[in-house]
């Protein structure tokens, strides 16, 4: 297998052939947000399957397309669908598309994901803007030899989620009349949902929402010097809080509804960044 840097260069070169000039802002569309891609004007679309080294999603709702075009008044790239650790990919593979975006000149990365609400004040459909995370995956995407062309061996993680971007998001959400709550994301490998005892543990550890993605992408983005803004849609109360079972189909339904509101916030944020 060839060296990571060479594989990133090869993927970026193949994307450039179709896309030409690449935007500085990219958005990862998690479960329920795939529809945001339909709002992109003059889209140019490349299937992940046509990009060398890009992993292809195995779960429904994660289409697997790179889309470049205009959202609101801004040029953006979208990853329509992601792959997760639980699908069997290692974290270097899970985060490979983020590496390629960095290589293509993306400096602002917006992450979105469906999550379970741990904090008792969070309700189904709430949107959380991440202030921090806890990596409970048991591994790190930067494990292995470090290529200094990609970033430092020991990158700082004091401020993973940009305070500047978060305050822009808060302002734009307020203008739209949409409530955005702050919170800490706990990443677990999944794919089983948590037990009530695990959720009590996560709450004690300081987590507000729990999910199965986002954190490896945020770590790699910071390693590569990107500014990160991340949103978690609360699709269900985490296990044991209401006594209701957690059902994937309902998670997707709620994510789609919350995704419409989140899409409006994102459109305003990217338009503002461009200005």
List, in sequence order, every beta strand (DSSP E) within 139-274: 180-187, 209-211, 227-237
Q: How far is the CB of 255 from ligand HPA (least distance, A)?
A: 8
> Would you count residue 95 as binding ligand HPA (CB under 6 A)?
no
d(CA 155, CA 237): 33
Please report how close the Cβ of residue 18 comes to ligand HPA at its closest, in angstroms: 32
Query: Taking CA 129 as the corner, what is the angle to CA 123 and CA 132, rounded to the nearest 5 degrees?
Result: 110
Torsion angles phi and psi, residue 178, rounded to 5: -110, 130
Catalytic residue among 10, 14, 24, 86: 86
Q: Is 35 a catalytic residue?
A: no
Residue 128 found at the interface with ligand HPA (CB under 6 A) = no
202 binds ligand HPA (CB under 6 A): no
Among 66, 114, 129, 230, binds ligand HPA (CB under 6 A): 114
Secondary element (H or E) of residue 66: strand 65-71
According to CB under 6 A, which one of 8, 238, 262, 273 is a site residue for ligand HPA? Answer: 238
- Whether the upstream peptide bond of residue 191 has omega within 30° of 0, thus cis, is yes
Question: With binding defined as CB under 6 A, does residue 173 bind ligand HPA?
Answer: no
Q: Binding to ligand HPA (CB under 6 A): which residues in 246-275?
A: 246, 251
CA neighbor of 228 nearest in space, from 129, 139, 150, 136: 129
257 catalytic residue (yes or no)? no
> Applying CB under 6 A, does 184 fall inside the site for ligand HPA?
no
Give the contacts of 75 (CB within 8 A, at least 6 positions apart). Answer: 23, 24, 25, 68, 69, 274
Euclidean distance between CA atoms 135 and 215, whole angstroms? 6
Which among 10-18, 32-40, 59-67, 232-240 is the span making contact with ligand HPA, rule CB under 6 A? 232-240
Residues 97, 101, 102, 105: what is their CA dihedral angle, to the nearest 10 degrees?
170
How far apart, in whole angstroms, are the C-alpha atoms of residue 73 and residue 27? 15
Q: Which among 75, 102, 207, 212 is annotated as catalytic? A: 212
* Catalytic residue list contains 84: yes
**193 belongs to the binding site for ligand HPA (CB under 6 A):** yes
Task: Fill in the DSSP letter of residue 161.
Answer: B
Question: CB-wise, 30 or 151, nearer to ligand HPA?
Answer: 30
Taking CB under 6 A as the criterion, the residue among 116, 141, 151, 216 binding ligand HPA is 116
Annotated catalytic sites, by residue?
31, 62, 84, 86-87, 114, 212-213, 236, 248
What residues line the site for ligand HPA (CB under 6 A)?
Answer: 114-116, 193-194, 210-212, 235-236, 238, 246, 251
């Amino acid at each position: 297998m060839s060296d990571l840097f060479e594989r990133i260069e090869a993927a970026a070169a193949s994307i450039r052939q179709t896309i030409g000039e690449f935007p500085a802002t990219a958005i990862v569309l998690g479960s329920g947000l795939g529809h945001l891609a339909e709002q992109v004007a003059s889209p140019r679309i490349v299937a992940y399957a046509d990009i060398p080294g890009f992993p292809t999603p195995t779960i429904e709702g994660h289409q697997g397309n790179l889309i470049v075009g205009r959202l609101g008044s801004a040029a953006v790239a979208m990853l329509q669908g992601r792959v997760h650790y639980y699908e069997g990919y290692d974290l270097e593979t899970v985060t490979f598309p983020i590496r390629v975006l960095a290589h293509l000149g993306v400096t602002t990365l917006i992450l979105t994901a469906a999550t379970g609400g741990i904090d008792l004040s969070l309700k189904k459909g709430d949107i959380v803007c991440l202030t921090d995370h806890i990596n409970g995956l048991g591994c790190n995407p930067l494990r292995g030899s470090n290529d200094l062309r990609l970033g430092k061996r020991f990158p700082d993680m004091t401020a993973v989620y940009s305070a500047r971007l978060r305050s822009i998001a808060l302002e734009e959400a307020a203008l739209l009349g949409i409530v955005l709550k702050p919170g800490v994301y706990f990443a677990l490998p999944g794919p089983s949902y948590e037990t009530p005892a695990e959720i009590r543990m996560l709450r004690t550890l300081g987590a507000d929402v729990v999910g199965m993605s986002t954190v490896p992408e945020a770590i790699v983005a910071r390693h590569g010097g990107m500014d990160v803004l991340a949103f978690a849609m609360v699709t269900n109360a985490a296990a044991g809080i209401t006594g209701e079972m957690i059902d994937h189909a309902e998670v997707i339904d709620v994510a789609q509804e919350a995704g419409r509101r989140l899409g409006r916030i994102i459109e305003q944020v990217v338009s503002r960044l461009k200005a």
